Structure 1
Amino acid sequence: MQPVRDRLIVGLDLPTIGDAEKVVAALDDTVDFYKIGYQLVFAGGLEFARDLIASGKKIFLDMKLLDIDNTVARGVENVVAMNVSMLTLHAYPKAMAAAVEAARGSDLCLLGVTVLTSMDADDLKDAGYADDPATLVGRRAKQARDAGMGGVVCSAREAAMVRGIVGPDMAVVTPGIRPAGADHGDQKRVVAPADALKAGASHLVVARPIVKAADPAAAARAILAEMDYAPA
């Protein structure tokens, strides 16, 4: 099992590259893995990702791709060329199959997003799904496994179920992590760091509790300490 430092991914959910640079500088000796999503991508985040990779950091590019097969495949090919460590796409079978073929032979870990951690049963119903979150997560985890994906993204509340479906080798990445006493924000299915690891998560994504903290490095160290209580 990887050291806890390699299992913590800090989400750079920030409005500008300048803001992200300040957080990365503050976390330099503490964190090696960063998530970059839509907000920062549209502010120059792809070039920033390349710079971080060149400096020895690892990048989780959270783009949640979903499109026709050819478009997904061509996009994945370009992400492979960036030397990104992880890339998300929505866990739809055809999209996953196209992405897996495009990434074949590379070190890119493709992650299928099951159900967003901001969604609960009522949200799924409003979106036209008949399934509750756990049922839909389980179905999509099986589809990701069968497609040959590198892992899945799910709430830590479903991590134990997902780990049972995908086996010991696939990544189970859990956002919606909140340390003890932290505000839940817009996340509805949250779990504490050690509990997420005990449930079977391989990596934890933490954004606001670190990047919005008065002392990001201290906040990250506190979360790493919580993670140390989980079994390896």
Structure 2
Amino acid sequence: MTMKDISAIDDLERAVRADPAIIETAEDRLREQLASERPADRMDAGRALRAAAEHDPELAVPYEETFVDFLTAENGSLTLSGAIGLAELSGHDPQRLTDAVPTLVTAFEDTVAPSIEEAIVRTLTRIGMTDPEAVTPADRVIADRLPEATLPTQIAIVRSFVGAVVERPELFEATVGAYATATDADRQVVAQGAVRALAAVASVDAEIVPSREQVLTRAEELSALAKADPRPNTGRETRAAARALTRAFEEDRAVRTDGP
């Protein structure tokens, strides 16, 4: 598509979704819209970049800093585009985004939108799985958000972010503590997810898990509930996690007993 054709497009996002490769020749149009005083123009440009990143992250790599800037925009649509854009880029090359962690953490603190929270957790997880030290600033923020978050964000924290935690559990004591507390969550799916997260952590470092007896008791309760469910395979992962916790705690206790 020629520059003349691009300038004639009324809806850039729609055009990019129809033909994502357009983004490669639309830089001037994107910059023009992002600098516009009209919020609709800026939001359209943001959604177009988001669409390109969702289709093929490599198309959006040149706009990495733009996505980071979106996180601080006083516009929910742009913030969402930034969060989703970075989440897509993190699946392509997470190490490129380590410098964005402080901005990601601040954006997570400032938002109450589940879609933005989930996207940021996804990005932090992927960065943390390759460089756990880089995402330690997120530890306390993630831990504080877990009990009060919406269900989708809670699930992202217990199921996804644990991928970063298990790399270096000692760097994420607040989050591990939040997992232990979440085993008592009213939502059973969150409690079960927390048990599975702690089982993964304990397999690496059982000593760091707090309130072990309470955690194990709750894990056994959830395991029993899952076992009583007549639906096939329901709670299989929770039952396996309860067994893994028991084994990890017993092994850690044996090491302590047999140690010097």
Q: Same fold (TM over 0.5)?
A: no
Give the structure-1-normalised TM-score: 0.29
Larger Rg: 2
More strand by share: 1
Q: By percentage of residues, which structure has more helix? A: 2
